[in-house]
Amino acid sequence: MDLENKVKKMGLGHEQGFGAPCLKCKEKCEGFELHFWRKICRNCKCGQEEHDVLLSNEEDRKVGKLFEDTKYTTLIAKLKSDGIPMYKRNVMILTNPVAAKKNVSINTVTYEWAPPVQNQALYMQMLPKEKQPVAGSEGAQYRKKQLAKQLPAHDQDPSKCHELSPREVKEMEQFVKKYKSEALGVGDVKLPCEMDAQGPKQMNIPGGDRSTPAAVGAMEDKSAEHKRTQYSCYCCKLSMKEGDPAIYAERAGYDKLWHPACFVCSTCHELLVDMIYFWKNEKLYCGRHYCDSEKPRCAGCDELIFSNEYTQAENQNWHLKHFCCFDCDSILAGEIYVMVNDKPVCKPCYVKNHAVVCQGCHNAIDPEVQRVTYNNFSWHASTECFLCSCCSKCLIGQKFMPVEGMVFCSVECKKRMS
């Protein structure tokens, strides 16, 4: 069940919310309430990833659907009840004996995800501590947030999108099928020496024509030297320490490897969640930024745009019906609007909710009206408002002395008010 239908089933109206307050702005969010097409909270305007509302099984279903009809079907299992693919997320539990005065207790640490390999504990230690997905920790919250940001459900499932036409649904299905076959991959954790043991077929060994006896001889002569060679991370270019696990990406070729902490999206530079990557033009991408490189994304609803007609404004793309006021959702085509925190706001909402207040008349300043601003204080640029706080002399075009929201025409006037 998607989040919007969950809201409807629970009988929550537009004035009610559910779930935890926003992790980003707790002081002004009473609870998460889904905007029906923006995919943000109506109360605080933050995204779903900032609220603890998505359950683990919902995320596992999303990733399971991503891996469906790919070579990674071993990472999913279909439920007998509804046949929906579920991500078989590998959970790691470490137990360490802790010495006590009378007996030995067991300290258990659970990682909400870990690569399914033997050296997974060493892999985790190579990640920044604040990004290690230990259950109940900051790292677990980081992983959950990145799952929501990097792999939005509406980038792969037409049913999660808002009012797609049949033609758009078909085009999206073809797009998803294409990126699954050409770009999607999951990192593989191995020791570089293990890759050497697989032979030169998967390793990029430079120099000469390998088919000639001379080239074969050169390879044999340099075998000992090759083993001593330090491997370099494809991202940071620094050497890999002997015995440390590295991440390989099959689509990139096995001549490239990454430190675990360097396996990041080339656009947002965040760790690729659960090592799920997209490969394009010799670069790693998360799902979101790979899709952004292929299709325009609507700044209003966050969905990819498959329609032939859309709007471009403020260096962003918008569905025609989604270029709306961020506060009241009124259509802005042909209307005056003001950008507030990179979001368009209609003039009435700007005056009501965002406009600065004139220090002279204490009224909101219209966005189309000239104003004088000094530090965090503003005045209408008029003979009625921008006046000396002592003698009321007009200060437009004149020198003035500011003091905590007041302005003076002279030292004398300043002294009189002190």
Q: Express each pLDDT in 306-350 by its tens digit.
A: 999 999 998 999 999 999 999 999 999 889 999 998 899 999 999
Question: Which residues share a beta bridge with 344?
Answer: 339
pLDDT for res 256: 95
CA atoms of 152 and 285, how far apart (whole Å): 14
Mean pLDDT of 198-225: 40
101-105, 180-184, 406-410: least confident range: 101-105
pLDDT for res 24: 59
- CA-closest candidate to residue 148, choices 236, 221, 242, 49: 49
CA atoms of 359 and 407, how far apart (whole Å): 10
- CA-closest candidate to residue 251, choices 198, 185, 176: 185
CB burial of 88-103 (b: ≥16 within 10 Å; e: otherwise) equals ebeebeeeeeeeeeee
pLDDT for res 102: 57
Query: DSSP 3-state assignment of 364?
Result: strand
Mean pLDDT of 143-157: 95
- Residue 17 Cα to chain centre, angstroms: 24
Most confident of 33-42, 192-201, 387-396: 387-396
CA atoms of 292 and 201, how far apart (whole Å): 34
Mean pLDDT of 223-228: 47
Q: How confident is the model at residue 260 (pLDDT cuts 50, 70, 90)?
A: very high
pTM for the whole thing? Answer: 0.78
81-90, 141-150, 173-182: least confident range: 81-90
Mean pLDDT of 295-313: 94
CA atoms of 402 and 388, how far apart (whole Å): 10
CA atoms of 15 and 27, how far apart (whole Å): 17
CA atoms of 67 and 72, how far apart (whole Å): 6
- Residue 101 Cα to chain centre, angstroms: 47
Q: Side-chain half-sphere of 104: how many Cα atoms within 13 Å? A: 6
pLDDT for res 196: 64
- CA-closest candidate to residue 248, choices 289, 193, 195: 195
**Are 285 and 271 in contact, with CB atoms under 8 Å apart?**
no
Give the DSSP H or E segment for 172. Answer: helix 166-182
Query: Which position has the higher pLDDT, 110 or 206?
Result: 110
How many CB atoms lie under 10 A from the CB of residue 310?
Answer: 16
pLDDT for res 394: 93
